[in-house]
Structure 1
Amino acid sequence: MIKTRWVRNAAVFGTAVTLSLACAGFAKDSTAAGFCQETDMAGLSLSLDKYYTENYAAPKEESDAKSEDTATATPAPTASADEKEDTPKKTEEKRKEETVAKQFRDLGIADVSDYVNIRSKPTTESKIRGKLYRGSAAKIIGEKDGWVKIESGSVRGFIRKDLLAIGAKAQKLAGKFGTAYATVKPGTITLNVRSKKSTESSIVTQIPEDEKYEVIGESDNWYRVTIDEDTKGYVAKEFIKTRVRFKKAISIAEEKAELRRKAAAEKAERERLEALA
């Protein structure tokens, strides 16, 4: 033990003297001196620890190593079967949500044979405020107990969620029930309307910003639009933003007014035919 302590003290003294001489050369430079103290002192501590460990503490390390070799490894926590199955499902749901156009994320389309009632409360016993006919759309503003709160046209109320196509399903029905309109993106003063799907084709006319044109066809990079009754042509997609319009809900009051209007028109037609007879 005395010999061991003497050897370690001698090593410390010798290394310290060497370090002092090395640092003395940098005394004029405060930055260099700081570096010598911060870096080399750390190195000294590590060197001494290593020296003593390798020469005098080896038996203890061997004992520790043996105990570590024979110790039972603790298995890393693994995900349950449910978690493994759930992760791909969540990823797929997120991917689908990201691919749904912004317009359809909170849009519901009546996916029924005729119409669906819009009620004052989320219950089939509540008052009917209006009707959402097949293919008509409503903005979803809330959800509760299998019902969604919507607004469409002049009507606000509740519809059973299972009677609406929402999100990705609504987007799939857009071409069937909606009418797409193209608008020139801001920053494009005028946009060329071409006779064919090519920048080499002739220019039919030019269209300005903010005006809406019905989309009647689509290909990879072009939309075919209607400018007026006699003019149709192609516009490049990169300069266009589109939005789909749908029919809206009709309130009970509006429906009754429409029925009265039709009845009056039919009566007038009968009277006209009688006068001609």
Structure 2
Amino acid sequence: MYACCGDMKSGLKVFDEFPKWNVVGWTSLIAGYINNDCASEAIRVFKDMESLNVEPNEITLVHVLVACARSRDLGTGKLVHSGVRQLCYDPFVSSCSPNLVLATAIFDMNAKCGNLNIARDLFDKMPKRNLVAWNSMIAGYNQYGQAEEALGVFSDMFVSGFDLDKATFLSVISACGTALVDMYAKSGDAESARKVFSDLKTKDTMVWTSMIIGLVMHGHGEEAPSTFKRMQEDAAASPDQITYIGVLCACSHVGLVEEGQRHFTEMTNVHGKS
């Protein structure tokens, strides 16, 4: 009850006062942490549960896979999937029951963690796909810079007759923008890239990064630092390691030594990307 209501402190106190909990109690605690945006804590609780030899059920496994997806913990996610197989719950194995929710959780964890080849293989093996699975595959490709693949999945989804929701449209719009910016930037058509870029109402990390790297590649490196500064002011995006590499290259090309050193410090110290 406490966990469901967001009072994790009270929920944990009640949990600790009981000498022994069954799988339902453990699963409730894990779900409580997930519902309160504490995915890492949910994973920690699951590991504690395992250490006490409490066997998870399918609901437990779905919750912990969701936690792995949210925390981008692919290592633990793979171990959980291995446990799913050992318990004969794996919906991708013909001898196991076809649990669509569990199948989606396994696939979604791989997609969100960037394990896209495995995610696509699982996606293709799903005997039945729900809207969550389609959206997750599109978003996974888009998140990791594979806009063309994202649009390909969207095309398949459309042909399959699925009703699209807001999440679908947001991912597809972002993928279209990324693909166009990337195409124009890499072809040297900086003006078209700028126009598409400026027309996008929402710019994610990949869109900003494609623009920055395109500017560097085609002799407009002096614009890259100011573009990067605007990106840092955009709440919808945050620079990743590839973004920083693009900015550092730009600073090197145009002789902005001090600015380059500052961005390198940000990358290694503030963001922990080295």
Q: TM-score range by the shorter chain?
A: under 0.3
Q: Which has the higher strand share?
A: 1
Greater C-alpha radius of gyration:
1
Q: TM-score under structure 1 normalisation?
A: 0.20
Q: Which has the higher helix share?
A: 2
